[in-house]
Structure 1
């Protein structure tokens, strides 16, 4: 550059004017060298910016990978919890249905037993009344009679209590509906939007870490499904 100074005012020339108007080879070499230096600076700046952008992209992808892994664990745990919750809910529904059926059968048995006891109490009451009447009729002719009396009040209280118990059992039996289905808890899929773009899937980090926006994890919502009955 010191031996071949630039002269930017030179214009293009024809073959006839080569010697008189055109710059010397030394000046042309200086211009070419200066142009090479400018282009090299620009290329270095481009490469530098490209490296900065590449490092920033790598940093962003690394942060996204950590975030993806963290959120994936949360989604997987939630998905497993949802499956267990639905499974336990189904088991609870079966147990409740079984308890309803058993409760209905026991209520019917108690009602039948109560009716049988009531008949036996009525029969016992009639027997005691009949014995009392016979003893009263025998007092004039019998040499010896034993003191005996019917406790009518106790029988009335017992009858009242048994009627109340039977009504209570009957009402409870009517409220128990063993054949009525219990609403079931179900998982229904949720629309998560369109699939990832092909360009996203072509990113090396995405291919390596399988960052496919949780395509393999079902997104659901819990609903209470009413039965037709």
Structure 2
């Protein structure tokens, strides 16, 4: 899953981004309202972490503008504004959650996951295909009750495939969800991850298979 951190203090942005990456999220960071708007226009994010004191505008105004759009992701406000009036203003403007600085990184991760577990969110469910089960919170994969060790990228690809069971997931969609703005992406990165994932599922005797639609993408199919 891909997150956007909107924070102009570089050290804090790096801290938050690294903590979220350690929790298996793909993270982009921006430092201004303008860059945040551009990123949200170009990329489909699963959630965002927003500081309110940005150099080119107030985060509350950005929040209000985003909430006028139907496809805005859940937003956690992370700010030094700590009065009751500040918290009320943030929630009224459309924040899904509000956390005050200084903060514990484990709490930021927990709150982001809580937002993603809300009804309709991408976390909080067990996904199944044949004898394979993916725990979207613990990021564990089991086949017939046995844990299958997978890399972060392999789990992310499997999640997208299993959520669209039987339907083709374009390669471009996987690239967008698995890699951030600054990541170097080779043309064969996704095929390599899919190759490793397919091999591991075969070795684990999973009753489902990954198929390649050449030039388009991949799909997961349950097998009898």
TM range (shorter): under 0.3
Greater RCO, CA 8 A, separation 6+: 1
Higher helix share: 1
> Please, what TM-score do these two structures have when normalized by structure 2?
0.15
